[in-house]
Amino acid sequence: MFGAKARHLVRKTILPGNCSWCRWSSSSKAPEAAAKPDANAAQRQKLIQELAEPIESRGRPTIDPKETSVVLFPGQGTQYVGMTKDLLRFPGARRIFELANEVLQYDLLKICLEGPREKLNRTEFAQLAVMVSSLAALEQLREERPKAIENCVAAAGFSLGEITALVFAGAMPFDKALQLVQIRANAMQAACDQAPGAMAMTLYGPDTNLGEACAKALQWCVDSGVESPYCGVANYMYPHCKVVAGSVQALEFLEKHAKALKIRRMKHLAVSGAFHTPLMESAVEPFAKALKSIRLQDPIIRVYSNVDGKPYKNASHILRQLPKQIVKPVKWEQTLHELYERRQGVDFPRTFECGPGKGLLQVLEKVNAKAAQTSFNVTA
């Protein structure tokens, strides 16, 4: 299915401890290096299980928690022309793009480096660019901090980044993930064309009833004859900050009446539709169909679902849950609470954001300032 060059490259593109997207293809022979036992696997798995237990029943961790790590992956909207330039000094990062180019049959790296911006920002290219760049950033982390990979106990990704996290955790082969993201991006763009929408970062105070504000905007759309309108929360970011999405007219209503609705500020996002809302319903079926064709594996570390903020249990759970993410809000604030919950006095893990931008660490600082004190950015 794929060329000999790509199969040769993947044998050399293996992260330590197998805690990565080392499965190139669900149908190809596993690389020899992947068969080697992971010296850290048993110890890491024991800690994962211990951290998953109720707080009151946990014993002393077998690994010092501050020596463990969590990896976060960004989503669409973080891309920019010129990203990945500094990663090209790492052979592994270059190999990742060679593999991606062979699967996609076009030069994704060139689009990342040279744009133009209008092309890079198109959903069909942006989602792939962010995912591959994020995985390439892992090569820098592997070179500079190999223990961060070996002692990784959990991963999470924002929207598209959740698929990146599943690849990293070995639940999904890299080539199949690329094809899945292609289908996801095209289906979401088609949904945007069918039902134009918008998204806006919304800041508000403790006296604001955002749900009521969205309901008023929706009713105004109904009264105005807008076809199949929607208005609601699409992303839970941090206290008093959410992304609201829906019909263009609904967001215009919120902006126009912001003062009366006690909304402090709204900033439109550079996206082409109302992602993570029912307006994306038509994208679910093609995505779910493509996901069913992939031979999924149980993640070897905890990966958290955007739908409910909790870790996936197994491969079948991924198959059921992941398609819902397209039309359900991203519960990122809830994910961070779940991810960093621990007994008082227990150290936090080191957190690494791998990919373009630093937005997820900025959000972490607002949700859990103590956890953010040991966070680092590995930018693409």
Q: Using the structure block, give the residue that is written with the tokens 């962010």.
A: 130
- Per the CB < 8 A criterion, the answer to whether 138 and 168 are in contact is yes
Size (the chain), residues? 380
Q: Using the structure block, give the residue that is written with the tokens 């936090």.
A: 348
Can you tell me the distance from the alpha carbon of 73 to that of 93, in angstroms, rounded to the nearest whole number?
16
Encoded tokens for 234:
């699409």
Give burial (CB, 10 Å; 0-12/13-18/19+) of 77: buried
Please give the order of strands across the beta sheet that includes 152-157: 302-303, 152-157, 69-73, 350-355, 375-379
Catalytically annotated residues: 159, 276
Can you tell me the distance from the alpha carbon of 178 to that of 192, in angstroms, rounded to the nearest whole number?
21
Please state the φ and ψ torsions of residue 197, each to the nearest 5 degrees: -150, 180
Give the DSSP H/E element, type plus range, for residue 235. strand 231-238
Instruction: Tell me how crowded residue 363 is: count the other CB atoms within 10 A of its CB.
Output: 21
